[in-house]
Homo-oligomer: A and B are copies of this chain.
């Protein structure tokens, strides 16, 4: 079914609003669209970083940190832990927020945590081809799935070992 023929597909400005929203002329539903939250973590085990090789599009076959869409009734921290478990059976202890990125062209806000991997016995979940722990020197910089993965890894590499951590934002306008 094409969404151009069915469901919310006409742009109207609802009464009392100041911008266009998607409206379904068949049933009257208004679909308020807002950016979605992606939550994730940069899991560290000693000097190694956990990465997952994606088994789903986009960027199939490329490496990412565990991350995904925040679900309803979930805190950002709980979502980061859930995604890490789903993608790599990784049990984490979360640290402070490492990065908050706004990716406006795909309407995402990413909230990414520092994290300590509690057990190195990780395994690929259904959305991963494989998972692995990388030394900094071995990180596949040319095969990362998204620019934000690089940004998060660079933030982790530069983060102080202790003291308050101020999250980084986008390094360049997205």
Query: Which positions in A face B, CB cutoff 8 Å?
Result: 1, 3, 6-8, 19, 24, 26-29, 31, 33-37, 69-78, 96-97, 100, 102, 104-105, 107, 109, 111, 163-167, 169-170, 174
Contacts and interface: CB of A to CB of B under 8 A. Distances in A.
A86 B105 CA distance: 24
SS class, residues of chain A in contact with chain B: loop
19 contacts: A7-B24, A7-B27, A7-B28, A24-B29, A34-B70, A34-B71, A34-B72, A35-B72, A37-B109, A70-B109, A73-B104, A73-B105, A74-B104, A75-B102, A76-B100, A97-B97, A97-B166, A97-B167, A100-B100
A117 B165 CA distance: 25
Contact of A166 (B37, B72, B165): B165
A26 B164 CA distance: 52
Contacts of A77: 102, 169
A34 B102 contact: no
Contact of A6 (B28, B35, B167): B28
Contacts of A165: 164, 166
A19 B111 contact: no
Contacts of A107: 72-73
Contacts of A27: 6-7, 24, 26-27
A27 B20 CA distance: 21
A75 B3 CA distance: 27
A109 B109 CA distance: 10
A166 to B, nearest CB: 4
Nearest to A167: B97
A88 B69 CA distance: 33
